[in-house]
Structure 1
């Protein structure tokens, strides 16, 4: 699997700790990922991820989870113990394309990418978000879109 699009991995080694298939395609699954990063603040973090792809499109939904909380759940504990703020993206075909002679070409119309994030911010009213917070979110979205594009282009080469 390719995790280079994910800002949470931050260049670290991503290890799949659990893989639960969801259908015939091995890429359609729920995974529990561990990021082995030099950043010590991420050492207690896992990523719970679901991915799915078929002819209508692809999506990846993921959420960072605390390793201690996940261990409680994996030991038959209460799943409400794990706080989830899922984020993700979907890639949908943008319709068929046409070649120079007006002939319809399936699969040449490009793609539509939708990205969604849930992020904890200070408890202030939305009208009072700092410019720094807005800039950080804009940077996160831009970086993620660029990484997804690079990963997709790499897979098509």
Structure 2
């Protein structure tokens, strides 16, 4: 199932992007976290700026060792920014890490969740850089796998 929604945020795009990227605050808004703690394990920069990166996040739930990994791609530009991520289960991680993983990568299924931010200029925009003042339009998109038994008949 795919779903999307559009929101008007009464804050600059830079602030909205920073809130989405903040791993300490993430547990308050991200349902994949389920109240756990988040630690960025790996970050690979895509460009000169530190906001353009691919990361692997480690989510830990309690002390029982219940963990989850998340693959995340994020980018910030004055014209718009995004943050897209997907949960990685143990079977998928094993497939990626196995020696024959390259042959099986065509069978990998990721169900991404993401946010796209676009700045809206206002009177204060003439003084501040684009994205540093004004408001933001945020589009949130979700893909959720559903079992055929969950779908209604008729």
Q: TM-score, normalised by structure 1?
A: 0.65
SS of structure 2 residue aligned to 1:23? coil
Q: Do structure 1's residue 113 and structure 2's residue 133 form an aligned pair?
A: no
2:41 to 17, 27, 51: 17
Superposed structure 1 runs of 4+ greater than 6 Å apart: none
Q: Could you tell me which residue of structure 1 aligns to residue 55 of structure 2?
A: 31
Closer, same or farther in 2 for the Cα pair 1:34/1:104, shift >3 Å? closer
- Cα displacement string for residues 53-104 of structure 1 (whole angstroms, at most 9, x for unaligned residues): 011121011111112321331344132353201110111102x2126xxx95
- Which structure ranks higher in relative contact order (CA pairs < 8 Å, sequence separation ≥ 6)? 2
Q: Relative to 1, partners in 2 of residues 1:29 and 1:74: Cα closer, same or farther, differing over 3 Å?
A: farther
Unpaired runs of 5+ in structure 1? 130-157
| 2-structure distance, mates of 1:112, 1:59 | 12
What is the TM-score when the length of structure 2 is the normalising length? 0.66
How far did 1:105 drift? 5.3
**Equivalent pairs, count:** 123
- Structure 2: gaps of 5 or more residues: 1-20
The answer (yes or no) to whether the contact 1:73–1:81 under 8 Å persists in 2 is no
Q: Is 2:113 the counterpart of 1:87?
A: yes
Q: CA RMSD in A?
A: 2.9
